[in-house]
Structure 1
Amino acid sequence: MRSFDLSPLHRATVGFDQIAEMLDRVMANDGHQSGYPPYNIEKTADDAYRISIAVAGFAESDLSVEVKENSLVVSARKAEEEDGRSYLHRGIATRAFERRFQLADHIRVMGASHLDGMLHIDLKREVPEALKPRRIEITSGERPALAGSVN
């Protein structure tokens, strides 16, 4: 795998620290995250998303969903049960896992549900009014006075 030196990016930009940190995290990961458990990310509306994770064999009490510093952390830990069963083949994986999803700014976790072996996590983008585009009225006539100017 190639390694990239991102130090010129740090020296030549101001205010893009989050992007640089995200690139550092992605580069450090090197693709070591396993594919277990499988998941889907779907867009359910203009500003709504759903993450669906296959969690067959896990009960609600085995699952944990947390939001920490713009990261969604989903984990599961199954208590080992000695029930005297002898398996000839055990293909349903119930091994512990932790999966992290980096959330963009203004993404809020609305809730989670567990149904038919699937964990569904609903997300919504809530952009504050101050950051939404606004239309500036154009008037004819005199120029508007600038703040702090003397007429």
Structure 2
Amino acid sequence: MKIGFTVNGTPQEVDVAADMPLLWVLRDVLGLTGTKYGCGAALCGACTVHMDGEAVRSCQVWAEDVAGREVLTIEGLGRPEALHAVQEAWVEQQVAQCGYCQSGQIMQAAALLAKTPAPSDAQIDAAMEGNLCRCGTYPRIRAAIHAAAAKLEG
């Protein structure tokens, strides 16, 4: 099935099975490997991307469901020379340890800040609770989100 959609601002057309998960379209067909496979059941958040501005688990979005939509991955959130405020805060707060969950964590945090520019700890915890970190960097994740919120305000 031919499916046209936009990824990171670039129109794409892929010829894949309608029920192929978006995660595999991104990684295997388009070569965008920043989005990670964690559990395949939308329970860990490693595969989080934005679809039309909403954070979604790409392992549970079928290719046919992205037709005509806008998808943003970690590769499109910022560039090495112009990081997104969340990415800058992640570096400054030294959030990443193993790093595997970080692209999903960052995408979830960016979606939160787009809707809630100055979130409370409770709002951060609620928004991020579905994103698991095996290294347990949750306090640094929260601190980074607050730091990113301050950057985006200023």
TM norm structure 2 = 0.27
Structure with more of its chain in strand, by fraction: 1
Relative contact order (alpha carbons < 8 A, sep ≥ 6): 1 or 2 greater?
2
Q: Which has the higher helix share?
A: 2
TM (norm. structure 1) is: 0.27
Rg larger for? 1
